[in-house]
Amino acid sequence: MINVLKIVVACFVFCTGIYAHEGHNHQHPSTTTTTTQNNGQTTNHDNTLNNSQDHSTHDHSTHSHQGHDLAAHTDCGHDSHSEFKADETAFHHISDLNVYSIGPWNFPLPCILYSKDQGWSFFSSSKFDIDNHHHGSGNKAVDRYALNMGRVMRIIDASFPMGEVSVQGFTTAETEVDGKKKEINYVCANGQKYELEKTSSVDGGLFGGGFTSFYDFSITKNVFAMLLVIGFMSILFLGMASAYRRKPSTAPTGSQKLFEPIILFLQDEVAKPFIGAKYERFMPLLLAIFFFILSLNLFGQIPFFGGANVTGNLAVTMVLAIIVFIVVNLNGNKHYWEHILWMPGIPAWVKTLITPIEILGVFIKPVTLMLRLFANITAGHIVIIIFISLIFIFGKAGAEPGAAYGASVASVLLALFISAIELLVAFIQAYVFTLLTASYIGAATEEHHHPEKNHH
Amino acid sequence: MNLLFIISWIEFSPIKPEVGLLFWSTVVFSIFWLVIGKLAFKPIIKALNDRSNTIQESLDAANRAKEEMKNLQSENERIMSEAREEKMRIIKEAKDAANSIVNDAKDKAKEEAQRITINAKNEIENAKMAALVDVKNQVGTMATDIAEKIIRRNLANDASHQEYVKKLVDEVKMN
Amino acid sequence: MTGSIVAIGMGLAAIGAGIGVGTIGGKALEAIARQPEAIGDIRANMILTAALVEGAALIAILMAFLVK
């Protein structure tokens, strides 16, 4: 229900963002320096310096796709006023970063980087000399790593010097590789542009990622939030456990009072009805899933605290979904596999139709788990940020203060309303994930005494 | 500028599962699940279940005690009512016994009284008879004496008179 | 304007999910009104079904992101 609202609002806001974008001469102020657009000539992903420089002289309209520029080059060092982009702000805030941004301050986090060429590198992201005024980009490159919009990227060019090198800025260009548009980041240093590479991701190129030359095992914003919150929860639960051990038959006190009803609710309303007699074996997993998701959902909702979008990151939900997938299928009994591979009680030709669907279902279940949590939490974060951004959209980033005042009243009220809904969503999504996990485990471990009766 | 362009142009990184974040979330979640699950969740669930069992047992025990109390009470009541019945029975028996004793006594007394009365009557009769005999004898003697005196005067020599008198006396005696 | 078509697709997915989840919620409320004592079961099943319907919409929106 709520998500539909979110999605509609997100669509509206996307359109608003597009409108704002179109109305401003195709300016792409993505990074510390603004862009001046040139042609849309397709540049190959591998081309770096020479190509970029060549294109800078091309005409606007030589290769425009749908009347718009596909490639945008930054003239590094040329600093014009940057215009506000709601979508960009939102995407920046929900991203995983190598700095922890609270308000205008960027707190450095430890970087643990591995590349095949250079091996391991350990240093604090403060070494990048983070610029507090521009989304946390680094003024320095360290060992061919640069901090672009708070994210560590690697300079591919092997001729780039190791050690600390000061950089002038970052820029972005669009190219088309195999019919797909691809975004390439460049860093400007020593008067030249060097191509940057993002960290490896396992989406298989579906969402523009893929394996690259380096792996970022840093304590990023999300990892930091995860360690902080889960560490806190662990200490809390260990304290509770010791309290139960010390005085087993006294009335609950402190955190016990808070968590006992939740634990009992999960046990009596989720685990027992959905899993059945063997529920006790799966309680640690269900509780871990529930409190992991809930605490991180709620932590992400704290205003002015970085808004760590941990459960709204596909990597985190993927890990949860994969663990659920493994647990469900490892515990699947004979009946479970029988129902998937050769459904009893139906004609053979129907079986041949059902079996592929059932096999697909085994994978679709964790995938929907993964996507549901990711999409809900991400959409919630985006909607709140976009509502706040409406102030700047209507005020045209300070150009129309009257509109900004008017919009601020409405958008703060709307953001407050959405925040309240998001608190509910934080609980509902944790509950839904746990409930669905329990029901999948229950379906896999259920004992069918008369399976032929169920399938007529 | 179209939507897709923006989406691909902007770094929408949450949708790209990065290797580092995958690694760290696996580590953190596994610790939370396996270590904290074993050290905290299992003992907590065990403690909660133990406590609910304890509470259930206590409630059951209380119910049982209540039931026992109820049984005990009804037992007491039964004993009490039995005792009351017993008492009533004893009292009734005692009353009956007393009544019968009294009646017996009354009967005996009546009988005794009757017997005494009869005895008395008999004695009286006997005494009366004896007295009568005595009176008769005395009267006879007196009459004889009187008659003797009378007769001595005029029938001293009349033997037939004497004999007649004697016969009369005998007749009187027989009565 | 392929972007607009994708946006329309997202909107359609949202409408579909909205109708589905609305029906589920409405029926669940009716059921609760009829049998208030079964609120726990109804709620759990309502959320389960709503989550499944929502999953379809979410996949549709993700596909909208994917199609380039």
Asked whether residue B1 is assigned to any structural domain, the reply reads: no
CATH classification code of C5-67: 1.20.20.10
Q: Tell me whether residue A88 is in a domain.
A: no
Residues A112, A145, single domain; the answer is yes
Cβ-nearest to C21 among A4, A270, A435: A4
Q: Is B175 on the interface with A (CB under 8 A)?
A: no
Q: Contact at 8 Å (CB) between A76 and A33? A: yes
Q: What is the mean pLDDT of chain A?
A: 76
Residues of A in contact with B54 (CB under 8 A): 249
Kindly provide the ipTM of the predicted complex, given to two decimals: 0.81
Domain presence at residue A456: no
B27 domain residue, yes or no: yes
* Inside any domain, residue A105: yes
Q: Does the structure show a pLDDT above 90 at A101?
A: no
- A377 falls within a domain: yes
In this predicted model, which residue has the larger pLDDT, C7 or B24?
B24
Q: Give per-residue pLDDT as tens, A314-373.
A: 899 999 999 999 999 999 888 888 888 888 888 888 888 888 888 988 998 898 899 889
pLDDT confidence tier of residue A75, bands split at 50, 70 and 90: low
**Is A455 contained in some domain?**
no
Which range of residues forms the domain containing residue B64?
19-174
- Is any Cβ of chain C less than 8 angstroms from the Cβ of B3? yes
In the chain, the amino acid numbered A21 is H
**Chain segment B113-163, per-residue pLDDT in tens:** 888 888 888 888 888 888 878 777 777 777 777 777 766 666 556 677 777
Note whether A103 and A110 are within 8 A (CB). Answer: no
User: Where is average pLDDT lowest: A278-292, A322-336, B9-23?
Assistant: B9-23
Domain-embedded: residue B123: yes
Residues B25, A316: C-beta atoms closer than 8 Å? yes
Q: Quote the domain boundaries for residue A71.
A: 2-81
Mean pLDDT of A235-252: 85
At A428-441, the pLDDT tens digits run: 899 999 999 999 99
Higher pLDDT, A447 or B45: B45
In a domain, B8, yes or no: no
Domain co-membership, A367 together with A381? yes
CB distance C40–A269 less than 8 Å?
Answer: yes
Which residues of A are less than 8 Å from B45 in CB distance?
263, 267, 280, 283-284, 287
Containing A79, the helix (H) or strand (E) segment is none
- Residue B114 maps to a domain: yes
DSSP letter string, B132-170: HHHHHHHHHHHHHHHHHHHHHHHSTT-HHHHHHHHHHHH
Task: Name the burial class of residue A440, with classes exposed (0-12), middle (13-18) and buried (19+) by CB atoms within 10 angstroms of its CB.
Answer: buried
| Number of domains chain A is built from | 3
Is B14 a member of any domain? no
Residues 422-451 of A with CB under 8 A from B: none
Classify residue A246: in a domain, yes or no: yes
Residue among A130, A70, A141 nearest A101 (CA): A130
Chain C CB contacts of A207 under 8 Å are 65-66
CA–CA gap between residue A55 and residue A72 (Å, rounded): 10
* pLDDT tens by residue, B50-91: 888 888 999 999 999 999 999 999 999 999 999 999 999 999
Whether residue A207 and residue C68 make contact (CB cut-off 8 A), yes or no, is no
pLDDT score of A45 more than 50: no
CA dist., res. A216 & res. A154, Å (int)? 10
Q: Which of B29, B31, B48 sits opposite A264 (nearest CB)?
A: B48
Residue numbers of B between 3 and 42 with CB closer than 8 Å to A: 3-6, 8-26, 28-34, 36-42
Question: For residue B7, is it within any domain?
Answer: no
Residues of C in contact with B2 (CB under 8 A): 1-4
Which helix (DSSP H) or strand (DSSP E) does residue A64 occupy?
Answer: none
Tokens 């998937």, residue located: A340
CB atoms within 10 A of CB C4: 13
A271 and A137: one domain?
no
Cross-chain Cβ contact A244/B41 below 8 Å: no
Within a domain: B13? no
For residues A312 and A440, membership in a common domain is answered with yes
Work out how many domains chain B is built from and give that number.
Answer: 1
The number of C-beta contacts closer than 8 angstroms across B and C is 18
Subunit contact B3:C7, Cβ cutoff 8 A: yes
Is A183–B9 a contact, with Cβ atoms under 8 angstroms apart? Answer: yes
User: Cα–Cα distance between A27 and A21 in angstroms, integer?
Assistant: 8
> In sequence order, what are the beta bridge partners of A87?
none
Task: Report the distance separating Cα A288 and Cα B34, nearest Å.
Answer: 9
Residues present in chain C in total: 68
- Closest-CA residue of chain A to B38: A284
Contact A107, A136 (CB under 8 A): no
pTM of the model: 0.73
Contact residues, A window 144-203, toward B, CB-based 8 Å cutoff: 149, 151, 172, 174, 181-183, 198-203
pLDDT in tens, A141-186: 888 888 888 888 888 888 888 888 888 888 877 777 666 667 788 8
DSSP structural state of residue A268: I
- Can you tell me the mean pLDDT for A121-134? 81
Q: Where are the domains of chain C?
A: 5-67
Edge-to-edge, what's the strand order for the sheet holding A192-197? A164-166, A140-142, A145-148, A151-155, A192-197, A180-189, A169-177
CB contact under 8 A, C18 and A439: no
Q: How far is C8 from chain B (nearest CA, A)?
A: 11
